[in-house]
Every structure is written in structure tokens, then in C-alpha cells.
Structure 1
Amino acid sequence: MTEATQTDGARVNRLRAGLKRRYAREQRFRAYGLLAIAVAVGFLLLLLGRIVEQGHTAFYSHAMTAPVYMDPPRIDRAYPQGTNFEQLVAEQQLRRLGIVDDAQGTKASAMRGLFSSELKFIAAERIARQPGLVGQTVTLSAPLSDDADLYLKGEISKDTPAEQRRLSDEQIAWIDRMDAGGQIAARFNTGLFTRGDSTEPELAGVLGAVIGSALMLLVTALIAIPLGVGAAVYLEEFAPRNRLTDLIEVNINNLAAVPSIIYGLLGLALFINWMHLPRASPLVGGLVLALMALPTIIIATRSSLKAVPPSIREAALAMGASKTQTVFQHTLPLAMPGVMTGAIISMAHALGETAPLLLIGMVSFVPGLPHSLVEPTGALPSLVYIWENASERAFHERTAAAILVLLAFMIVMNAAAIVLRRRFERRW
């Protein structure tokens, strides 16, 4: 009896020790999972923080406001665009600061370098609208040049050696005096959202790229969603199970993992070289992105159709509905939340693709705004690539700002997918 009791006690102790080790392993596994999540969130916050730190300054800019005498002998009333308003403003600013220019006009030229070229267009437009302003003193407000703007934002330091910066000590002193005199003020950079691309950083905006991306996504959605949903419905509900359909399913799953640059090469060969569609147009971009989005939509739609309980189909068939009626009136409506989620996520994925767009020509400078599907245009991802490779330092902050705009669009699209799914999905 004593031996049996000791044996049972040893067995219980071994069981307790085994349970203790198992619970310890589970706790360690949870700890590793939490640590992995914390590391991932930390890297994400670091990345977002770096982007925000670099790009938040692009959302405001500095402008100079000054009274300008519209000297009649120097202004062509018939063609004000031909007037050198920048020189006119520079000379008057020097006199206002009490600075005498030399015979070569080097100081006036240096002062002109502090103003954006937008100044001449603003002045010419005012004169064109109101020719009577010639001979009067007019208050003009125009953005500063990119270098002057960066100095006021603290991106250029006067402690940096003069040969390593584009602003001279004299120009920096002028900026400080105008800023102290209240002629310079910071304002929200509306031009970032209302202008297209430009060779001058202070005038560059994302509107052209946003419109180009929207037109491409429109083409992508009109092609990929109907074809993808139709293909998924056929493969899941109507196609016979044989080697051919098995081969198609395997290829669809493989296409979802193909690098996006391959689709760009396909679009270059098929749509541009063979079909001779306009290069760098939203039409070609949308077609390429549609090819890339099709596998994702098909896989997501098939998964949603599989999630519908078989009892729904059996009940509809038992009530006398045909196969087609069962699919389109019962099965597909119940799977629609998953279908919409897959479609939106695939569109968000297409919005952020860069490699296919570079291969079809969306890497060149395109000023202005697109007005049709066949005009050359840019897109937000390609604009980020172009600005980051630009030589002007001010483009770098606009690169980060464009990334923030792109992230905002993608967050909105993913949030919409989550809301739609939670709103319409049914739990079985």
C-alpha cells in the first residue's frame, strides 16, 4: 500500500512538473509574440516619425509681402508678361533696405534670387486685370525661393561654410532684416495641393499626380473588379473540377506572387510596343495595374464564396431555384462584404505600386494637370521617386509630404474596407 501511494505521488509530481513546463512555454510564447509586435510597432513608428519629421515643413511656406511701385516706363501695358517684375521688386527692396547696388547690378541679382519666379506671374496677372495700377504703388505677396524658405525653416544654417550653401552671407542678412521688418510670414502651403509638378520646388504640387492616380485607379477598377469577380464566381461555382481548372487555379495563385516589375515589362511589351497605346498615360497605367490586381481579387472573392455555408445553396436549390439564381441571388450577395474588402485592398495595393509605372514611362517630368485618359501624366508613387532623385534640397521635404499624402489615401481605403466588412458581414 505504501509503495502504491509513493508511486501515485511520483506520478502526480511528474504531471505537475510537466504542466508547469507547458505553462512556462506558453507564457514564453506569448512574451515572444508581444515582443515581436512591440518591435514591429516600434519600427513602424520610427519610420512614420522620420517621414513626418522630414515632411511636415512642406505643408507651410514663407511669402514676402512688399509695396511695389509700378514704374510706367518699365511696364508694358499691352504685354505685362514681358516685364521684368523680379528686377523691379529687387531694386526697390534694396532701396528700402538702404543698400546701394553696384554698376553691374550684382546685389539686385542676389536679391532676385530670394524670390520665386511666381512673383512675375502674380504681378503680370494683376496688371493684366487692372491696367490702371500702372503708376501706382501695389502691395504684392509672393513665395520666397526654395533656398530662402529652407533657411527660414532652419534647414539651412548660417553656421555652415558659405561654399557649402547656396545662400550667401549677404542674402541671409537681407532675409533676417526683411523677416524682422514683418515683410515675411509663414502660411499654409495650399500650392502643394492645388498645383502640378514643377521644376521649382516652391511651386511644385501633388495635384497632377493625385488626378493621374485617380484616373489609373478608375481604369483599374472598371477592368479588374468585374473580370476578377466574374472569374472567381465561375471557378468556384460553375467550373468542373478537372486538370484544366486545377492548372488555372495554380497559375492564379502564382500570379499573385509575381513581382510587380514583371507586370510593368508585360505592359511595356503588350500595351505600348504592340498595341501602340500612349506612353505614360492613365489608360496604360490602369491596364497594367488591372493585370496585377486581378489575382488578388479572384483569390479574395473565391475565399468569400467558400465562406458562405453550403446550407444556403442547398436551401435555395430545394426551393426550386436554378444554379444561376442560387449563385447570383443568394450566395454572391452574402459574400459581397468579402468581395468588396478584397477589391478595395487590391486597389490600395495598386495605388502604391511604383515599379510598373516606371517601366511604362511615368518617370518623366509632366507639368500641368491631366484632362483625359490618354494624356501623359504622373502618379503619386512615381512623383515620390522623381522628387527624391531631384538635386534641389527642397524637393526632399516635398518627397516626404507626398509620401504622407499617399499614406493618407491608402489608410482611408483600408479603413473603408474594414468598415464595409464589419458593417455587412454575417457570422454563421
Structure 2
Amino acid sequence: MTNTETGHTLSKPTDWQSTAMSRRVQARYVRERIFKVFGLLAILTGATFLFVLLFNIVSDGMGGFYQARIKLEVSFDPDVLGDPSVLNEEDFERSVYQANMTQLILGALQRQFPDVRTSSDLRRLVRLVSRGARWQLRHMALKNPDLVGTTRAVDLLASDDIDQVIKGNINIDVPESDRRVKDKELGWLTRLQDAGLVSKKFHHLFLTSGDSREPELAGIWGAVMGSALTLLVTLVIAFPIGVMSAIYLEEFAPQNRLTDLIEININNLAAVPSIVFGLLGLAVFLNVVGLPRSAPIVGGVTLALMTLPTIIIASRAAIKAVPPSIRDAARGLGASPMQVVFHHVLPVAMPGILTGTIIGMAQALGETAPLLMIGMVAFIVDIPNSINDAATVLPVQIYLWAESPERAFVEKTSAAIMVLMFFLICMNGVAIWLRQRFEKNW
């Protein structure tokens, strides 16, 4: 068909009711449905893997918050502990620390099992109770000297093997040679259970103590404090430097090759593997500057370098999102460039800046590789009190427990992961709340 005025060939009008067009439309609808099905399958697959992961962590980790205990009648013998009515406070404290607490525990067990006589059986019998029970009794005697000379029912910590048997994590149906808990110990445990002397209670030591070689005594408070001190150093260094850098690059820096090069390097640093920052911390802060090894200060400085690009990029995006009309209005009222930025632009951009900072800090909280490079993988028992004390952090603590051979550390590892996930969820929740609470739509 040809237009007589222009001489151009006109296309034939589309017949939307034709069979060919109907087939094409149907085929398009089929492709759309297939795409939706694949998208739904992808979401369901990801959600399934996430559910399985969380289920395994929670199912393994819940046992870490509970510990088996054995109730025994303990006689606080003054011949063993010392007589507080005769000794002064200092001498009594020294006597308690030097006392053989195993003798008290063994006496309580022998009253429960008078038929156990041989030395080998007595050693096995004592192994029903954790080594931490000695510390438990010592703490009770020091806290209340009036206990000396009396007999009290005390819930003593069970050993890690007995605890795992009670929780069903050790298969007692296998031959005796293939398990650590022997038949005699199982028989004694059964007698204690029949007498109602075995229970599972919330294990507060897991949340209030430091690391230990004994699983039933190991806790995460040392790692939590190490993480808190490390993140404090990271925040103090990275936040002001990152925000000031973003303000300069976005509001004051001239557009030239130098600033372009800086922006490219910032974006590239955000994608650098975290272990590279660990190598930098090892080479500079430990070997050159001489900061204390395995301390929150060196960990915080290293993580600050890793977090800086994230904070700068997020802060620049928040500042750029501020409408130009706010700047123009401030300039129109006679505000200086510094006043425009700090009195008008920065307060409006602060919710986005804080959101990016919290996300960067959450990323730093979950990092392990850079801290391994600077020595924060050491076995630390004491709770750190300053940024110069030796410390570890939650991800590294999880790594250490995952490498331990004892079965009881499996649930400790999962429980520590649950605590770490709780902190990460809280930090991300705060970031979402800040964005929704203070963000303005222009």
C-alpha cells in the first residue's frame, strides 16, 4: 500500500483479532508465567536453604544455653576449708583457695554411692561432675563463710560428657569402646536420674564468663566485650573521617582528575577482600607502629580502614539526595558554604549517613579474616577492660570453638552464632528504624 502524496509505502494495519496475533499473545503470556514460576522457585529455594540453616543453628545452639546439673549433699568441712571463726578474713580466703575441693565433691558422691570403693572407680565417679564445680563451691564458701561446718544440697555442674549424654547428643547404644562415657558411669548417672538428682537449668555462665578449655565453663562475655571495644574504636575513627570525606568530596572538592581518581579508589576499596586489610594491619600497625597484638585498638583501627569506604559511599549518597532547593534557600538568606553544609544539608542527610554507618559497623562485627591476621585468634580467658587488653571477638570465638574436638563445643558454637545473629539483626533493625523514622520525601 503506497501513499499517493509522499510516495512512501505504508505498512498493513495490524489485525489484532487474527489467529497469528492470538498465538503470539498467548505465547507471550506463557513466557511471562514461566518467568514468574522460575522467580518463585528461586525465592522458595533461597528461603528453604535459609530455613534449613537457621533450623540447624537453633536446634544445635539451644542446648548451649542449658547445662546439666547434679544435686549433691555437700559437707563444707572446716578441716578442708578452714574455720572462719578462728581465721581472719584474709587467712580464710587464702585457706579456701588452697583447699582441696575435690575432697568435698568426692565425699558427697560417696554418700550417694557407698558401694564405690576402688581408686579407679572413685576417679571415674568424680568425672561425673565438672571441674567447674570446684570453683562453684569455692565461690559459695567465700561469699558465705557461715556455710562452713554445714551440709547443703548444691546443684553442681555436670561434666561435658555427662551433659551431652543427658541431652541425647552421645549415642549410648554403641559399644563401650567407641564412646567416652563408660558403662559404669552410665549406671551411676541412671541411679542419679532415678533419684531425681539430675536436672537441666539455664546456664548463666555461658553469657557471663570468658573462654575456657572446659566446654561447660566456656562463655561468650569476653568475646562480647572484645567486640564492643573493637567496634567502639572502629566507630570513633571511621565515622568522623568517613563523614568529613563525604562532605568534602560532595560539596567542596573541585571536579578534576585528582578527585575522579579518589572516587575510583574509594569504590575499589569497598570491593577489596577483607583479608587484605588484615595484612595491612599486620604490616603497619603491629610491625611498624607497634600497637599491642590481639588488642581491640589494633582490631578497631584495622576494621576502621575496611569500613571507611562503605561509610563514605553511603554518606555521599545521603548528601547527594538532599534537594538543591535547600542549599539555594540557605544561600539566599546569606549563609556561608560551611553554614549551608553543617546547618542545613548535614542534618537532613544524617538519617541516611547513620543508616550507612550502622550497616558498615554490622559488617565489621561479622568480620573474621582481618582479625585473624592481627592475632585476635589467641585463647583469651580474662574479660578485657580496655582497648589495650588482650581480647577476642565473637566471630573469632566461633571459629575457635568450631575447631575444638569436644562434642559439647558444637552447641556452644551454634549458640554463639545465635548471639552474633541477634546483634546483627538488632543493628540492621536500628538502621531500618532510623531510615523510616527520619527519612523525608521531597
Q: For the superposition of Structure 1 and Structure 2, which TM-score range results when normalised by the shorter chain? A: over 0.9
Counterpart among 124, 127, 149 of residue 110 in structure 1: 124
Deviation at 1:299, TM superposition (A): 0.5
| C-alpha spacing 1:31/1:245, structure 2 compared with 1 (3 Å) | same
* Percent identical: 48
Asked whether 1:24 is paired with 2:30, we answer yes
Q: Shift of residue 130 of structure 1? A: 4.8
- Say whether residues 1:51 and 2:44 are aligned partners: no
Alignment of 1:285-324 (within 5 A): 285-324=299-338
Q: Does 1:201 align with 2:215?
A: yes
In the TM superposition, what is the alpha-carbon distance from 1:164 to its structure 2 partner?
Answer: 2.0
**One-letter amino acid matched to 1:401:** A
Structure 1 residue 80 and structure 2 residue 96: aligned? Answer: yes
Alignment correspondent of 1:176: 190
CA distance in 2 between partners of 1:75 and 1:229 (Å): 60
Check 1:127–1:11 CA distance in 2 against 1; reply closer, same or farther (3 A cut): closer
The separation in 2 between residues aligned to 1:214 and 1:261, in whole angstroms, is 21
For 1:131 and 1:11, locate their aligned partners in 2 and report how far apart those are by CA, in whole Å: 97
Equivalent residue in structure 1 for 2:252, among 238, 242, 249: 238
* Greater alpha carbon shift after TM alignment, 407-416 vs 73-82: 73-82
Q: Deviations over 1:365-397 (max 9, x none)?
A: 100200111010010000000000012111111
Q: Which amino acid aligns with 2:418?
A: L
| Letter aligned with residue 165 of structure 2 | Y
Aligned to 1:89: 105
Q: CA deviation at 1:185?
A: 1.3
> Given that residues 91 and 108 in structure 1 are in contact (C-alpha distance below 8 angstroms), is that contact kept between their aligned partners in structure 2?
no
SS in 2 for 1:404: helix
Q: CA deviation at 1:114?
A: 1.1
1:224 aligned residue (207, 215, 238) = 238
Q: Which moved more, 1:31-40 or 1:275-284?
A: 31-40
Q: Distance in 1 between matches of 2:204 and 2:148?
A: 29
Q: 1:62 touches 1:186 (CA, 8 Å); kept in 2?
A: yes
User: RMSD of aligned C-alpha atoms?
Assistant: 1.9
Match of 1:333 among 325, 347, 360: 347
1:83 Cα deviation from its structure 2 partner = 2.6
Give the aligned partner of residue 60 of structure 1: 66
Letter paired with 1:206: I
**Equivalents in 2 of 1:333, 1:17: separation in Å?**
57
CA deviation after TM superposition for structure 1 residue 227, in Å: 0.4
Contact 1:68 1:140 survives alignment (8 Å): yes
The whole-number CA distance in structure 2 between the counterparts of 1:129 and 1:356 is: 42
CA distances 1:125-180 after superposition (whole Å, capped 9, x unpaired): 33345555444323222211111101000011210222222111100111111122
In structure 2, give the amino acid aligned to 1:299: I
Residue 87 of structure 1 contacts residue 108 of structure 1 at CA under 8 Å; is this kept in 2? no
Q: Which residue of 2 aligns with 1:363?
A: 377
Residue identity in the other structure for 1:81: Y
How far residue 26 of structure 1 moved from its aligned partner, in angstroms, is 3.2
1: distance between equivalents of 2:337 and 2:144? 72
Where does residue 427 of structure 1 map in the other structure?
441
Instruction: From 32, 36, 39, give the equivalent of 1:33.
Output: 39
Q: CA distance change for structure 1 residues 263 and 324 in 2, over 3 Å: closer, same or farther?
A: same
SS in 2 for 1:175: helix
- The residue aligned with 2:175 is 161
- Count of aligned pairs between the two proteins: 421
Letter in 2 for 1:66: L
Say if 1:135 and 1:338 are closer, same or farther in 2 by CA, change over 3 A. Answer: closer
In 2, the alpha carbon distance for the partners of 1:421 and 1:132 equals 57
Rounded to whole Å, the distance in 2 between the matches of 1:333 and 1:73 is 70
